[in-house]
Structure 1
Amino acid sequence: MIVGIDIGGTKTHVRAESTGVTLLDRSVPTAEWQADGRLDSPASVERLLALFGHLPGAEDAALAVGAHGLDSDAQAEAFQTALADARPGLTWTVNDVELLGPAAGFDEAIAVIAGTGSKVVGRRADGSPVTAGGYGYILNDPGSAPALVRDAVRSLFDAVDERESLDQLADALFTHFDVDDIVGLSNALTVHPRITRWGAAAPLVFAAADAGSPRAAQVIDQAADELARSVQLVHRHGAVGDHVVCAGGVITHQPRLLRAFRERLRARGLGHAVHLLAAPPVEGALAMARRLTEAADAVPFAPSTPSRRKP
């Protein structure tokens, strides 16, 4: 039996299978088991493992987990160790963005997430991870929903300072936030700088661009270029693979961003094939768990690297 888990900020998806037969396919709110806000705490690990622990052979099953919040080697090691200490089966942990490539069927790929947040992740030939972005929507995360709104509002600040006429973008954001002017808009976002409050207005940026707003179009193009630059950076620093796999609510549901991203990659001289992930990311975790059972000392999808598995 193998088990794959995709842990997102809001939802956790668990899937178990044996010889190609699905034994469990379950989604629960992450808060349901992550009681103390930590992945590696004993209480959280116990509750996570209980999601599939009733299955016969669960303790010895190969387990791969992609988790939101594993943004450093130290965090991944801590979670890896906590899981390995709690069960005898082979275990592997990665940032959830790393599930995209194997979920799409690629052994080597650069993963791009653009949704509530954004991040670009690849692996070098020696198996070491290389990343760009993912530092949070207030300062970074280009192409994410809240960052698009942040940049759209900053663009309107420029318009006011340049004494330019405000267009469809301003009208849409003023209406959405129930304000009358740019000062009110600034206050609406800064007094309550919540990720959900900012992100909810992201579709308005795309609608304004489609309606002819040059500023909205520029915001989207700039976000696409920043994502392309992040891919260029991880590629330059050794990330292997000729494929880029994209996922996340924004890039999945906003074709304009995906088109601009492809164009910007080409403009930067990158010939990677760009794919939009069609399978659920948990399929990537299952693929990693399957790979754990195939090679005694291999890191999934980086077979030249010593693994962190239990001796």
Structure 2
Amino acid sequence: MRNRVIIGVDGGGTKTRVMVKERPDGETLFDQNFGMSNYNNIGVEGLRAVFRVIYEALITCFGERLKDAILVLGSAGVDRPNDVEIYLSALKESGFTCQLEVVNDAEIALIGGNGGRKGALVIAGTGSIVVGIDSKGKIVRSGGWGGLISDEGSGFQIGRHAIAAVMQEYDKVIAPTSFTEKLLTHFQLASPEGFMDLLYLENTIPVNKVASCTPIILEAWAKGDEAACMIVEAELGKLVGLVVGISRQLGSEKFRLSVAGSLLTKSTDYFGMLKEKLSLVLPQVEISAPLHDPVFGAIMMGAEYK
């Protein structure tokens, strides 16, 4: 008799990666990307639609085996018990009858990045969060409370402050920046006043849109633009503060800190500066690239439930 299959799902704001194995060290039986599955971006109906496509793809590959599978979903939209229920209901309504476990995507990234339930993880992409596992095996967190009050060191915060700098230049409060025209071109705006329509005419804050300009600001930072340097280095300092918060919650200044998110995995300068700043306040922390992808962390979690 074959082993139960483990379905690992990494649900994000741009794509959803699904991997299937019988055990973490076994053969990969399925590995595909699907549409976004962050409830905050697409709502319940959108969630059901994506999960239905995933279900159809898996039932085609695994047939009756799917009924006895273990599915672990990690999604950025999972922060409270009510969020878990929303995702569980959407999975069930899409056809899944197997064992289901739903957690925040930071948890699967932490387990995958450190190769097990240990250490901590800092994520900095569109948003940000730092998570860790304490001596009792409990997940602890610092940050990640959304762009209005948190998400320190994230693409959204860098983009938000960059737009603010453009407006300050427009008002003659600060000297001209090297990125103003590039931001206007990026957002297809005729003048800085166009940011009012971009930011305030939607029902929700356009987080992804604002964060999308981050590469422009990082480039200006690398070239020494004064406004960009102030923005990026201030946000890096705040990100370090989140790691300090996790250190206090863990009761330790010595742990492995894995990284995730485009700002830390795609920008060597941003990662390098974070490492430099962190070494000044927590020199014993080992900051490293992740050992495995988040979806593999979901597989590892699924193996715990077998």
| Contact 1:33–1:44 (8 Å) recurs in 2 | no
Tell me which residue corresponds to 1:203: 215
Q: Which moved more, 1:238-247 or 1:14-23?
A: 238-247
* Residues 1:109 and 2:119 aligned together: yes
- 1:37 counterpart SS class: helix
Tell me which residue corresponds to 1:212: 224
Q: Deviations over 1:241-282 (max 9, x none)?
A: 711111112222222221221122223335221123364321
Compared CA separation, residues 40 and 63, structure 1 to 2 (3 A): farther
Tell me which residue corresponds to 2:269: 256
- 1:168 counterpart SS class: coil
Q: How big is the shift at 1:92? A: 2.6
Tell me which residue corresponds to 1:300: none
Q: Deviations over 1:127-186 (max 9, x none)?
A: 3332222233344322322221111233455567785422313343344446676x5364
Q: Deviations over 1:199-242 (max 9, x none)?
A: 22111101111222122112111111111111221221237771
Q: How does 1:1-311 map to 2 (within 5 A)?
A: 1-18=5-22, 20-30=26-36, 37-38=43-44, 48-54=54-60, 55=62, 56-76=64-84, 79=87, 89-104=98-113, 105-156=115-166, 163-177=173-187, 183-184=192-193, 186-187=195-196, 189-191=198-200, 194-238=206-250, 242-269=255-282, 271-277=284-290, 279-293=292-306
| Mapped partners of 1:106, 1:143: distance in 2 | 26
Letter in 1 for 2:227: R
Compared CA separation, residues 153 and 270, structure 1 to 2 (3 A): farther
Q: Deviations over 1:45-99 (max 9, x none)?
A: 6665444234142222232221120012442366458768976754432101112
Q: How many residues align?
A: 292
Letter in 2 for 1:52: L
* TM-score (normalised: structure 1): 0.78
| Mapped partners of 2:59, 2:105: distance in 1 | 22
| Mapped partners of 2:166, 2:46: distance in 1 | 43
| Contact 2:36–2:50 (8 Å) recurs in 1 | no
Compared CA separation, residues 268 and 148, structure 1 to 2 (3 A): same
RMSD: 3.6
| Mapped partners of 2:102, 2:193: distance in 1 | 45
| Contact 1:232–1:270 (8 Å) recurs in 2 | no
| Contact 1:17–1:24 (8 Å) recurs in 2 | yes
Q: How big is the shift at 1:6? A: 0.9
Unmatched runs of 5 consecutive residues or more in structure 1: 294-311
Letter in 2 for 1:58: L
* TM-score (normalised: structure 2): 0.79
| Mapped partners of 1:265, 1:26: distance in 2 | 36
Letter in 2 for 1:9: G
Percent identity between the aligned chains?
A: 25
